Amino acid sequence: MTDTGPEPALPHVHRGKVRDLYDAGHGRLLMVASDRLSAFDVVMAEPIPDKGRVLTATSAFWFDHLPAPNHVVSTDVGDFPDGARDAGLAGRSMLVRRCAMVPVECVVRGYLAGSGWKEYQACGSVCGVRLPADLREADRLPAPIFTPTTKAPVGVHDEGMRFDDVVAMIGGDRAEEVRALSLEVYRTAAVHAERRGILLADTKFELGLLDDRLVLADEVLTPDSSRFWPTAQWQPGRPQPSFDKQFVRDWLDSPEAGWDRHRPGAQPPELPEWVVERTRALYVEAYERITGDRWPHAGGR
């Protein structure tokens, strides 16, 4: 067993903070999403019930609806290889084509929040993109901007990159292509989300190369990789309520949590039951709003 389900009988190739990757043969990987929650690059000890399935279902919805090529082969357990056709893997797993991953995190921002807001306050720009003066926290940007970050090894925080840094890393043509695809997918997704009462404040894509063609890989537009704000409550000039990880981050920074996370080696606090439950509810709410479906297990645990 993994921490949240059965383990496929396939060679384990990578344990990420949230997903485990297994070699499914023929240039494919089985990506199994656990219920682990990471915040500030630290994995919490308490799983969030249903989180792995909610993330996988949310990504699967977007992969189906976005006009960009992607890495998905199947989410149907019947298509998984021998050793992975287990009902316990259903819902949380995705069979994907193994890509050469583009070595940057492709962040797109439509609104000013988080590290983007901090950087803007300090220097009036984000990752080298100059912005108008006098923007408030959570303001809508004149147009979405591409603000990539490094893909840092475990335990090291990702850092903002300028577009020139991306060019130096992967070449000018590829960098342009990566930026254009990221912005296009963001725009399409933001229009859909807004119809469903969600502002897509920002998000992070991971792109991969398949036969020299860029594809959307990893997870897409989930509450782990995005800031989702309820449109009805949007009010620039303050932090926003959100259907994503921000709730946990805020609790972890509260006096009740008492976590000095900047002190090396400081262990994260135990998440109280109400924080776990509220986080689960927020992830489910994001899924339900985005897809228009009821979460199959809502209220039924």
What is the size of the binding site for ligand ATP (CB under 6 A)? 18
Q: Which of the stretches 18-26, 75-83, 141-149, 269-277 binds ligand ATP when contact is defined by CB under 6 A?
A: 18-26
- Distance, in Å, from the CA atom of 8 to the CA atom of 80, rounded to the nearest integer, reads 10
Q: Is residue 60 part of the contact set for ligand ATP (CB under 6 A)?
A: no
Whose Cβ is closer to ligand ATP: residue 59's or residue 240's?
A: 59
**What one-letter code names the amino acid at 129?**
V
Asked if 16 and 101 count as a contact pair (C-beta separation under 8 A), the reply is no
CA 191 to chain centre: 18
Whose Cβ is closer to ligand ATP: residue 219's or residue 285's?
A: 219
Site for ligand ATP, residues 213 to 232, rule: CB under 6 A: 217-218
Strands 100-101 and 19-25: unpaired
One residue of 12, 17, 85, 140 binding ligand ATP per CB under 6 A = 17
Q: How many residues does this entry show for the chain?
A: 301
Q: In sequence order, what are the residues at sequence separation of 6 or more whose Cβ sits closer than 8 angstroms to the Cβ of residue 114? A: 202, 227
Q: Which backbone phi and psi does 178 adopt, to 5 degrees?
A: -65, -45
- Using CB under 6 A as the criterion, what x/- string covers residues 71-100 for binding ligand ATP? x------------------------xxxx-
CB of 100 to ligand ATP, least distance (A): 8
Site for ligand ATP, residues 136 to 155, rule: CB under 6 A: 154
- Using CB under 6 A as the criterion, what x/- string covers residues 159-198 for binding ligand ATP? ----------------------------------------
**What one-letter code names the amino acid at 286?**
A
Asked if 227 and 242 count as a contact pair (C-beta separation under 8 A), the reply is yes
Q: Which backbone phi and psi does 295 adopt, to 5 degrees?
A: -65, 130
Binding residues (CB under 6 A) for ligand ATP: these are 14, 16-19, 21, 29, 71, 96-99, 101, 154, 206, 208, 217-218
